[in-house]
Structure 1
Amino acid sequence: MQEHRAGPGSGDPAPNRIVAADSTARTLLAACARALRGEDCADLGQHSVLARFRGAPESVRRAAIARAGTRAAVPAERVGQLDAEAVARWMTDHYRPGSFPGAVLGSPHGAAAHLAVALGVPWLPAGFEMAVAWPDGAADDPGAALRYARPLATRLLAANPGTAVRQVHDPVGRGVLAGAAVTMVVRWRRLPRAYRRFLTERLAPGAPVLTLRDARTWPVLPAGPGYGFQVGSPGGGLDAADFAPDSAALTEVLRCVGGDRRRWDPPQPDGPPDQAEHGVEPGLEADLRAWAHAAGRPLHRVLFPRPEALSAAVADVYRAWLRSAGKTGDRCVVECGRLVDPWQVVRSGLVPYWCEGATQRSVAGAEWWLAGSEPFSSVDVLPEPPGLHSPALAGLPQWLAVASFGRRRSAVDRIAARGYPVTSVPTRHATEVLRGQPYDLPIPPPLRMPDLVAGLRTGGAAHGLLVG
């Protein structure tokens, strides 16, 4: 990715190294910033480490991926030097100079980026994901992952008291990389100074702010002040119960990563589930409310129980927005993971539906929404191959079923489907595919925040959205 605009002080790890290159939030930030400049994602060429070395024998491939993952991660000795405020500045520096008519903040979700672009406003994440090198790690030993990362999290939090850390050990979503690096999601517990300055100086007078919060929960072990540990993730497509040692799904996953089920002995949370890793810290929301009240700005809040709910509600709003501008709103694109390009979607007059990942659960959400929607003349599908095998993944027949809802045209991208699921394609591939769509110009006037909120309230209730 060509995202190297800003860096912290001398000796600190640079934000472009800290923020995981393959994280959804980083891709969405880059895509949204480009779209607001009238640019597509043709230069976003980051490939997943999991997709490398495909011609090697499986055992050799796993070892090579692990070494590559360790090299790409932040060295453990640098974690205490991490500056979360510098990361926040790096994120706001993505956006062009000038004033904006509002802002969207919160959990990483492809529909959030599409909303922001339709509104003509920036999107900023409520945190960021980072990988820390674990040279002697093991994907099948979550207890060792916790023991290794606990002192690292302590140092990180001491240097950044305005943050919280959620460690995620997930061989389902990370595969071999779960044993090469520990994954930490750093969330802001209060509004970063860079965000506060950006909102104060770069938004037009009275401009509204919208927060989007992923309300999913997951078993979490409190491992220290501001520090939680979770095994697995709702985004991986399995349930929390599937991470029990006697789970058939877990056995299959560990076999795929070269692990041993007999070593699997995760620490057991003894309390109720907490918000999952991509939630929004209550302190950040409270800080944002106080800022908005003092600045006299409207603040709207949307909680979504599942990513599919927000995807469906936003797609419905998008279709109504296109039609209000005299367009048909009759062509749909189903995106997945990092295969997004908000600018090409707007340029083509497409209705976007975003799948969080290539899981059966996520793809089924797209099927249900299309089945209940007014038919589309065309449905194009961009499945992102995750680069690994998992019992939770959707097969190509399920992706074909999604595309079949197009009355005149139904297409699953052939390059993404070739070698699925172990291959990988970069974000720019979505741009290459969407550039082939016919232009539908002029672009509609920006969506107004009151119309968006009204549309989410009207159509979102059926999907379980809470709009305030």
Structure 2
Amino acid sequence: MNAFYKENLEPGGTLFLVDCQCTWPTTRVGERHFFQHGAVGGVTEEEYLHGGPRVERFLEQMGSSQRRWEPPAPDGESPEAEWGFEPLLGEDVEHFAKHQGYRVKRMVFREPEHLSPLVADLYRWWYGKRGFMSNRLLVESFILMEPWWNLRIGAAPFWMVFNMEPSAKQLEYYLHSRAPYDHIHLMLFAHGVESIGLASIERWQTLLEQARTEGSFIGVDKKAYPSDFSAFARYYKELRKVPGRYPLPPPLSLSQLYGFLKQAGDRYAVSWQ
């Protein structure tokens, strides 16, 4: 790892820590091992641990005789298994940086999607600095993302954790609080099951209708969703058909990033330390 940093970072360069402070109730099963029941998505921590009306209806619909899950009793909170940041990793990075002469910039936020509005607005601002106004939004979903094509089609990227209602609400709030986009394109992760909190295809369609000119799904079979596993191959082919091509820019400089953050002030639920 030392060799990687030395080959790719100039002397005095900056290491960025993406410090998502999302936690989850866990049960310790060993010195460095924890059991986590559930995860960030459509079901709340409370529902995973104690059940509720939605859990009862779901289990009944699935033909189960159970009316709630019975996980081990949690004995603490840990960094959420998918998105949480382990503090010990941060300590290691800072120790390494101090002895190698690097700087550390830590992006701190509570929920994984808290970074999404900042990133989308940063891209839109950056495009403006390059001489064109971006009126295209590409909504990404879990592992369905295309950073390279965002730049080629001049789209601002808005990333969602999953295809669940909490993510739909985050996107809805973003669209209602920003200048309208002419074009909105939406990719949806297909996890294959009817689950608690799943946002329906009609719900996503309503969000696409916020576009002033065109709102479209990318790689989504609306009749098969959420069991549309061919979406994992189809989304890339359909994304290539989106019109408009822009030359790839040079990397965003740190001075540009810091300039954007200075203008933004405390607008975002992200702190920089």
TM-score, normalised on structure 2?
0.90
Shift of residue 257, structure 1, vs aligned partner: 5.9
Find 1:218's aligned residue among 13, 24, 29: 24
Shift of residue 422, structure 1, vs aligned partner: 2.3
Asked if the contact 2:191–2:227 (Cα under 8 Å) also holds between the matched residues in 1, the reply is yes
**Matched residues in 1 for 2:37 and 2:253: separation?**
40
**Matched residues in 1 for 2:122 and 2:60: separation?**
43
Shift of residue 402, structure 1, vs aligned partner: 1.8
Asked if the contact 1:384–1:416 (Cα under 8 Å) also holds between the matched residues in 2, the reply is no
Give 5+ residue unaligned stretches, structure 2.
none
Asked if the contact 1:367–1:401 (Cα under 8 Å) also holds between the matched residues in 2, the reply is no
**Matched residues in 2 for 1:454 and 1:381: separation?**
29
**Matched residues in 2 for 1:252 and 1:449: separation?**
51
Shift of residue 282, structure 1, vs aligned partner: 1.4
Give 5+ residue unaligned stretches, structure 1.
1-194
Residue 401 of structure 1 corresponds to which residue in structure 2? 206
Q: Equivalent pairs: percent with the same residue?
A: 28
Find 1:276's aligned residue among 58, 80, 85: 80
Shift of residue 329, structure 1, vs aligned partner: 1.2
Residue 141 of structure 2 corresponds to which residue in structure 1? 336
Query: What are the residue-to-residue correspondences of 1:151-190 with 2, within 5 Å?
Result: none
Residue 261 of structure 1 corresponds to which residue in structure 2? 66
**Matched residues in 2 for 1:206 and 1:418: separation?**
53
Shift of residue 254, structure 1, vs aligned partner: 3.9
**Matched residues in 1 for 2:45 and 2:98: separation?**
39
1:208 aligns with 2:14: yes
**Matched residues in 1 for 2:55 and 2:178: separation?**
36
Shift of residue 439, structure 1, vs aligned partner: 3.3
**Matched residues in 2 for 1:396 and 1:344: separation?**
24
1:362 aligns with 2:167: yes
**Matched residues in 2 for 1:409 and 1:281: separation?**
41
Residue 3 of structure 2 corresponds to which residue in structure 1? 197
| Structure-2 change in CA distance of 1:263 and 1:414 (3 Å) | closer
Cα deviation, 1:224-245, whole Å, max 9, x if unaligned, reads 21111111112x2221111245
Relative to its length, the structure with more helix (as a share) is 1
SS in 1 for 2:137: strand
SS in 2 for 1:323: helix
**Matched residues in 1 for 2:42 and 2:258: separation?**
29
Find 1:313's aligned residue among 90, 108, 118: 118
Report the AA paired with residue 80 of structure 2. A
**Matched residues in 2 for 1:404 and 1:262: separation?**
38
Residue 4 of structure 1 corresponds to which residue in structure 2? none
Asked if the contact 1:380–1:410 (Cα under 8 Å) also holds between the matched residues in 2, the reply is yes
**Matched residues in 1 for 2:78 and 2:259: separation?**
30
**Matched residues in 1 for 2:69 and 2:181: separation?**
46
Cα deviation, 1:170-224, whole Å, max 9, x if unaligned, reads xxxxxxxxxxxxxxxxxxxxxxxxx333112332333322111221121111222
Report the AA paired with residue 141 of structure 2. C
**Matched residues in 2 for 1:256 and 1:295: separation?**
58
**Matched residues in 2 for 1:281 and 1:245: separation?**
27
**Matched residues in 1 for 2:28 and 2:69: separation?**
20
Shift of residue 361, structure 1, vs aligned partner: 0.4
TM-score, normalised on structure 1?
0.54
